[in-house]
Amino acid sequence: MHKDQPNQLHRRFFEIPNLKYAMAFAWFQKGSVIQKLLHQLKYEGNEAIGVLLGEFYGDQLSDIYTEKWDLITAVPIHIKKLRKRGFNQSHRIAEGLSQKLTIPFVPLLEKSVNKKSQTRKHRIERFDNVESTFQLKTSSTSLKGKKVLLVDDVLTTGATLQACSEPLQKAGAEISIVTIAATKN
């Protein structure tokens, strides 16, 4: 899914004009090794798995893409969830990508509204649930003309990534998206 651009993942992001790349390491399948690794990362606190997955995927991307992104950022989680979990799984993946691609990881976004998990929501509910919940951090650097790689763990409908891309694009960034897994919608 990362070699062919544009690909079927692009269709999930119809509201991200000029989306450069949409990539996922693997298709998400229940019971698969990827699903088990992501579960270990997200729900069992194994942060090192996120960094390793990011490094592994970064190796693959560096073999394919000669174009460099200016920076890597990740989907944020609300401060309450961060306190409870102790880390952001997407940040760990982004850190691994950053190390392998030698591109700075900068947490540009914050989640200003703590809404319920997307896990059991349908497509329309997911888009409604994340609308206007992400914003740029006030200390963010200028993004005008910057190529930004936006990272998340799993791509389902694309609602979260689309909502995260809005403030980045308004600030003038060109967006590419990368996830470890994507569902086959």
pLDDT of residue 139: 63
Per-residue pLDDT, averaged over 165-169, amounts to 92
pLDDT at 123 over 50: no
- Residue 6, preceding peptide bond in cis (omega within 30° of 0): yes
* DSSP secondary structure of the chain: --SSSS-GGGGGGTTSTT---EEEEEE--TTSHHHHHHHHHHHS--HHHHHHHHHHHHHHHHHH--SPPSEEEE----HHHHHHHSS-HHHHHHHHHHHHHT--B---EEE-S----STT--HHHHHHHHTT-EEE-TTPPP-TT-EEEEEEEEESSSHHHHHHHHHHHHTT-EEEEEEEEE---
Identify the CATH number of the domain defined by range 19-182: 3.40.50.2020
Q: pLDDT (tens digit, 9 = 90+) per residue, 82-120?
A: 898 899 999 999 999 999 999 999 999 998 875 555 455
The residue extents of the domains of the chain are 19-182
In this predicted model, which residue has the larger pLDDT, 76 or 185?
A: 76
Banded pLDDT at 57 (limits 50, 70, 90): very high
Pairing mode, if any, of strands 71-74 and 147-155? parallel
Mean pLDDT, all residues of the chain: 86
The pTM assigned to this predicted structure is 0.87
| Single-letter code of the amino acid located at 116 | K
Q: Per residue in 17-49, pLDDT tens? A: 889 999 999 999 999 999 999 999 999 999 999
* Per-residue pLDDT, 71: 95
pLDDT band, residue 9 (cuts 50/70/90): confident
The answer for residues whose C-beta is within 8 angstroms of residue 8's C-beta and 6 or more apart is 1
pLDDT at 67 over 80: no
**Whole-number pLDDT of residue 126:** 46
**Residue 68 to residue 122: CA distance in whole angstroms:** 35
Question: Which residues, other chains included, contact 46 with Cβ-Cβ below 8 Å and sequence gap of 6+?
Answer: 40
What pLDDT score does 116 carry? Answer: 56
